[in-house]
């Protein structure tokens, strides 16, 4: 479905110029968009730090309606995907444009399964890192290094190479993620097992040891698979935009995924799940919540409520709803009754959602608010939370990378700027120069 152009135009009146007609575009869903590309030929460009009101591309993959709390992947609502499919079906959906038939699903699952192992020499790459390295630092390095192992199919213009790269990344990210965990605790790497599900295999590689099998709990396996689904893709978020911008120069897909991992790591983005759990632990008790709510409102205090707010959602994040239900399922299955962090989370949400500051700014819990509690209950260490987000988001990143490379008029991304520095000036001879005012 291409964008629907209904010949509407916006008229821009700039003093000294004839009125400029700017086409108004309309996608199949979402608001109308003013196409400002013609501005350049009139010597003007737009200013929109953080791209709050700027579309960087056209895409068919995901649609979000922030006001209504809607998230669609290729048209399917996230709540239906999270409860009626599994992560590999969602990977197939994102890559191919629709959900697989039973035969297609079986074939896809088999292809992914036979790519879960990593090259033996990658094991020694881990040894270059200190044992106490943050797993996200390791993942940034290892993901980029994958291009050194797969240069035999890095022709980004070859659809078969693009598909094989997507399969390799979907299959290998859980293996690499579990390896980053095992390396950090000094345990041997566990090889993937072909008879386990995608989520079950990850749990096995995380928690099994050569001395003891890990028995996959089906409730935990389903909860983790659902967490993968809820993190799979989310339009042009910071990390996906980083992958697209890196890819727009023709960079290889593994280097672009490394750029996505690096961007996701920030606490304002994918690092929020780790930051949120640490915040809940720091709050510690329900009684201390008002103190932290006050800090979140204090403009002089950089503290923000991690897991709250979203650039697009000005309603409840539909993923947070599913995540909250899954959280209660996991705690029930594990017979965890008085989970102090959950008590703080539930009370924090209740207070925040009745507080004028948060209501006025439409700050609701987002996908990161409850995910950390589930991962913590499963026994996954806090510094692995964003690694799991990166594992799950890899399908979104590579699908957008493919969509961008399939776009016939895709161009290198090169934003402009408003220059506010020094006007032209001449260099003074060294002996005549005054001290430069210290900045750092």
- From the list 165, 1, 59, the residue with the least C-alpha distance to 403 is 59
> Taking the complex as a whole, how short is the minimal distance between the CB of residue 65 and ligand SDX, in angstroms?
13
- Which residue is nearest to ligand SDX, using beta carbons? 309
Residue whose entry in the numeric block shows the structure tokens 């309309």: 26
- The total of other beta-carbon atoms located within 10 Å of residue 51's CB is 13
> Taking the complex as a whole, how short is the minimal distance between the CB of residue 308 and ligand SDX, in angstroms?
4
> Taking the complex as a whole, how short is the minimal distance between the CB of residue 325 and ligand SDX, in angstroms?
18
CA 44 to chain centroid:
33
CA 275 to chain centroid:
15
Q: Which is nearer to ligand SDX, 266 or 381 (CB)?
A: 266
Q: Which residues bind ligand SDX (CB under 6 A)?
A: 50, 234, 237, 268-270, 272, 296, 304-311, 361, 363, 366-368
395, 233 Cβ separation under 8 angstroms? yes
Q: Which is nearer to ligand SDX, 46 or 53 (CB)?
A: 53
Could you tell me the two tokens for 222?
């389903």
> Taking the complex as a whole, how short is the minimal distance between the CB of residue 391 and ligand SDX, in angstroms?
14
- From the list 307, 325, 279, the residue with the least C-alpha distance to 369 is 307
Q: What are phi and psi of 5, to 5 degrees?
A: -100, 120
Contacts of 227 (CB under 8 A, 6+ apart): 323, 326, 371, 374, 375, 388, 392
> Taking the complex as a whole, how short is the minimal distance between the CB of residue 50 and ligand SDX, in angstroms?
6
Q: Which is nearer to ligand SDX, 108 or 397 (CB)?
A: 397
Which positions are annotated as active-site residues? 310, 368
38, 285 Cβ separation under 8 angstroms? no
Question: 96: burial class by Cβ within 10 Å (0-12, 13-18, 19+)?
Answer: middle
9 membership: H or E segment, kind and range: strand 4-12
> Taking the complex as a whole, how short is the minimal distance between the CB of residue 185 and ligand SDX, in angstroms?
27
Q: Which is nearer to ligand SDX, 200 or 260 (CB)?
A: 260
- From the list 375, 402, 399, the residue with the least C-alpha distance to 199 is 375
> Taking the complex as a whole, how short is the minimal distance between the CB of residue 9 and ligand SDX, in angstroms?
30
Q: What are phi and psi of 76, to 5 degrees?
A: -90, 130
Q: Which is nearer to ligand SDX, 306 or 384 (CB)?
A: 306
Q: Which is nearer to ligand SDX, 23 or 267 (CB)?
A: 267
233, 396 Cβ separation under 8 angstroms? yes
- For every residue of 33-70, DSSP letters joined together read EE--GGGGGGT-----GGGTT------SSEEEETTTTE
DSSP 8-state assignment for residue 87: H
Contacts of 353 (CB under 8 A, 6+ apart): 359, 364
3-state DSSP helix/strand/coil % of the chain, to nearest 5: 55, 10, 40
Q: Which is nearer to ligand SDX, 161 or 304 (CB)?
A: 304
């Amino acid at each position: 479905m291409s964008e629907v152009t209904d010949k509407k135009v916006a008229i821009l009146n700039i003093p000294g110029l004839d009125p400029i007609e700017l086409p108004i575009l309309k996608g199949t869903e979402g608001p109308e968009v003013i196409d400002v590309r013609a501005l350049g030929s009139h010597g003007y460009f737009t200013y929109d730090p953080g791209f709050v009101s700027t579309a960087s591309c056209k895409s068919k993959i995901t649609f979000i309606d922030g006001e209504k709390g809607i998230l669609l992947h290729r048209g399917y609502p996230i709540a239906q995907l999270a409860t009626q499919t599994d992560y590999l079906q969602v990977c197939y959906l994102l890559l191919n444009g629709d959900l697989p038939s039973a035969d297609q699903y079986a074939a896809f699952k088999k292809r992914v399964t036979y790519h879960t192992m990593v090259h033996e020499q990658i094991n020694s790459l881990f040894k270059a890192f200190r044992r106490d390295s943050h797993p996200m630092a390791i993942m940034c390095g290892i993901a980029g290094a994958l291009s050194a192992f797969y240069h035999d199919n890095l022709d980004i213009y070859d659809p078969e190479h693009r598909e094989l790269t997507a399969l390799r990344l979907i299959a290998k990210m859980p293996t690499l993620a579990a390896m980053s965990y095992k390396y950090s605790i000094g345990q041997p790497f566990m090889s993937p097992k072909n008879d386990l599900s995608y989520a079950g295999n990850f749990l096995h590689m995380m928690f099994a040891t050569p001395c003891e099998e890990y028995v996959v709990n089906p409730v935990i396996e389903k909860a983790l698979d659902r967490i993968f689904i809820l993190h799979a893709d989310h339009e042009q978020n910071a990390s996906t935009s980083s992958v697209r911008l890196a890819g727009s120069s023709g960079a290889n897909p593994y280097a672009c995924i490394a750029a996505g991992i690096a961007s996701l790591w920030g606490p304002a983005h994918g690092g929020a799940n780790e930051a949120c759990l640490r915040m809940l632990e720091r709050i510690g008790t329900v009684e201390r919540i008002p103190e932290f709510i006050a800090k979140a409102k204090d403009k002089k205090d950089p503290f923000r409520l991690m897991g709250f707010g979203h650039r697009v959602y000005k309603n409840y994040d539909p993923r947070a709803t599913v995540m909250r239900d899954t959280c209660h399922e996991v705690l029930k299955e594990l017979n965890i009754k008085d989970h102090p962090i959950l008590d703080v989370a539930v009370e924090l949400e209740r207070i925040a959602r009745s507080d004028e500051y948060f209501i006025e700014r439409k700050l609701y819990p987002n996908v990161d608010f409850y995910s950390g509690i589930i991962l913590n209950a499963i026994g996954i260490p806090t510094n692995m939370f964003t690694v799991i987000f990166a594992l799950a988001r890899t399908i979104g990143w590579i699908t957008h990378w493919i969509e961008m490379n399939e776009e016939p008029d895709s161009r290198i991304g090169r934003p402009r700027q408003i220059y506010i520095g020094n006007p032209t000036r001449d260099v003074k001879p060294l002996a005549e120069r005054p001290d430069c005012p210290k900045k750092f």
